[in-house]
């Protein structure tokens, strides 16, 4: 029995290595493609020497989180009492799954206090001081590609960038002809942005902001939704400030990417031990989405029609020739290779 477990574990590890290698290959198709997670990981992911894919996290991954609310019964999206235990990570953080809308979230969630401390100074200096020009360029190109891909749904209009942190999505929006406004929770970050950009910029509690209703053609929210402890009032407010027919762009980590699914399975089988559930990134992510749950949630429980979801393949417009063909083919397979996904939804 022990021998067969060991063989199974070894086989799983070989498979995991194989798929990790595939991820590296995918990344080398376009080195900038390594910007697949979020800005906090970005600095740590890219090695200028070897272009290695490095899963080192920038957060306090070894400190046990201690500051939680009471466990929730009701799912914030569908508002049904259908949260059930689903998984846990190496620090003992519990993940729940809603049996009604299938959404996954941390339960119990972090306290407001904990999250407030976490997001004060969340954006690294390196992301804003121009000391990493290649990464800055890549980061901006990612957003340029997002805006470029949105052109098939609408002409550039007025956009609000939520979580505009390092400013690249503001810059990209301006270059693509959008009339740009930005919001970030952290005051210091926004003060720095104000010294660089002339557009209207807001900070503080998004829910308290006095924003004109029916005002925006696009709300752009890349790598933000997974951080929101109570996403319902945000999505409702976003709907109110969008013009009828306005678009919501959401980019999130994909918990159903091949890599994440495999790691979840390994964890549940007891084969990851110290690394169990690391892919949930629970030190700062509190919700865990995939294209299907984004579609189910936005269409079923909010007034949005989803126009498109999928692997975050928006980098395609930037790739030349055969690389584009190769990546397009890989992304067309019914496998979620990428660890991020996107959703474009239209306000009803
Ligand atoms: Zn639900």
109 phi and psi, to 5 degrees? Answer: -85, 165
Q: Please give the full DSSP string across 153-190, using - where no structure is assigned.
A: T----EEEEET-TTSHHHHHHHHTT-EEEEEES-HHHH
Q: What is the pLDDT of residue 31?
A: 34
| Cα-based distances in Å from 134 to 10, 247, 313 | 38, 30, 21
Residue 296 CA, ligand 1 centroid: distance in Å: 10
Task: Examine residue 30 and state whether it is found in any structural domain, yes or no.
Answer: no
Distance of CA 96 from the midpoint of ligand 1 (Å) = 10
Tell me if 57 is assigned to some domain.
no
Distance of CA 77 from the midpoint of ligand 1 (Å): 5
Rounded-to-integer distance, Cα 3 and Cα 24, Å: 31
Mean pLDDT for the chain? Answer: 81
Tens-digit pLDDT profile for residues 157-204: 999 999 998 899 999 999 999 999 999 998 888 999 999 999 999 999
First-to-last CA distance in the chain?
57
348 C-alpha to center of ligand 1: Å? 21
Is 14 contained in some domain?
no
The answer to whether residue 233 sits within a structural domain is yes
Query: Does residue 128 form part of some domain?
Result: yes
Task: Kindly report the CATH number assigned to the domain that includes residue 267.
Answer: 3.40.50.150
Confidence of residue 321 (pLDDT cuts 50, 70, 90): confident
Percent of the chain with pLDDT over 90: 53
Residue 120 lies in a domain: yes
pLDDT at residue 178, as a whole number: 97
Summarize pLDDT for 248-304 with one digit per residue, the tens: 999 999 999 888 999 999 999 998 877 899 899 888 899 999 999 999 999 999 999
* Residue 235 CA, ligand 1 centroid: distance in Å: 15
pLDDT category at 2 given cuts 50, 70, 90 is very low
Q: Tell me whether residue 107 is in a domain.
A: yes
Residue 16 has pLDDT above 60, yes or no: no
Q: 75 CA to middle of ligand 1, Å?
A: 4
Q: By the 8 A CB rule, do 132 and 138 touch?
A: no
Farthest CA pair distance, the chain? 66
How far, in Å, from the CA of 78 to the mean position of ligand 1? 4
Q: Is 267 inside a domain boundary?
A: yes
Provide the domain limits for residue 107.
Answer: 63-347
Rounded to the nearest angstrom, the distance between the alpha carbon of 221 and the centre of ligand 1 is 21
**Strand, helix or coil at 274?**
helix
pTM score above 0.85: no
Buried b (16+ CB within 10 A) or exposed e, 209-245: eeeeeeebbbbbbbbbbbbbbebbebbebbbebbeee
Burial class of residue 166 (count of CB atoms within 10 Å of its CB; 0-12, 13-18, 19+): buried
Looking at the structure of the chain, the number of domains it has is 1
Q: Are 162 and 224 in contact (CB under 8 A)?
A: yes
* pLDDT level of residue 10 (50, 70, 90 thresholds): low
């Amino acid at each position: 029995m022990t021998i067969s477990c060991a063989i199974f574990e070894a086989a799983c590890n070989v498979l995991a290595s194989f798929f990790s290698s595939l991820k590296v290959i995918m990344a080398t198709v376009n080195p900038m493609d390594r910007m697949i997670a979020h800005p906090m990981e970005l600095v740590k992911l890219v090695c200028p020497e070897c272009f290695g894919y490095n899963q080192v996290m920038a957060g306090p991954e070894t400190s046990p989180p201690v500051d939680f609310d009471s466990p929730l019964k009701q799912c914030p999206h569908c508002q049904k009492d259908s949260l059930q235990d689903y998984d846990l990570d190496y620090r003992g953080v519990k993940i729940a799954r809603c049996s009604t809308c299938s959404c996954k979230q941390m339960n119990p969630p972090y306290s407001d206090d904990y999250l407030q401390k976490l997001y004060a100074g969340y954006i690294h200096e390196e992301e804003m001081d121009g000391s990493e020009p290649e990464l800055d360029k890549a980061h901006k190109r990612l957003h340029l590609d997002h805006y470029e891909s949105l052109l098939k749904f609408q002409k550039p209009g007025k956009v609000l960038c939520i979580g505009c942190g390092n400013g690249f999505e503001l810059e990209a929006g301006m270059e693509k002809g959008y009339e740009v406004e930005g919001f970030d929770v952290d005051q210091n970050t926004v003060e720095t942005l104000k010294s660089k950009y002339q557009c209207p910029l807001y900070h503080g509690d998004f829910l308290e902001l006095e924003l004109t209703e029916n005002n925006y053609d696009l709300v752009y929210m890349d790598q933000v939704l997974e951080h929101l402890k109570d996403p319902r009032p945000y999505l409702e407010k976003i709907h109110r400030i969008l013009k009828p027919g306005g678009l919501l762009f959401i980019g999130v980590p994909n918990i159903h990417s091949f890599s994440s699914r495999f790691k979840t399975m390994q964890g549940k089988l007891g084969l990851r031990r110290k690394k169990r559930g690391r892919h949930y990134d629970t030190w700062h992510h509190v919700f865990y989405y995939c294209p299907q749950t984004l579609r189910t949630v936005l269409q079923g429980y909010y007034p949005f029609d989803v126009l498109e979801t999928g692997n975050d393949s928006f980098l395609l417009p930037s790739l030349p020739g055969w690389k584009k063909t190769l990546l397009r083919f890989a992304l067309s397979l019914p496998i979620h290779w990428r660890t991020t996904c996107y959703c474009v939804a239209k306000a009803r």
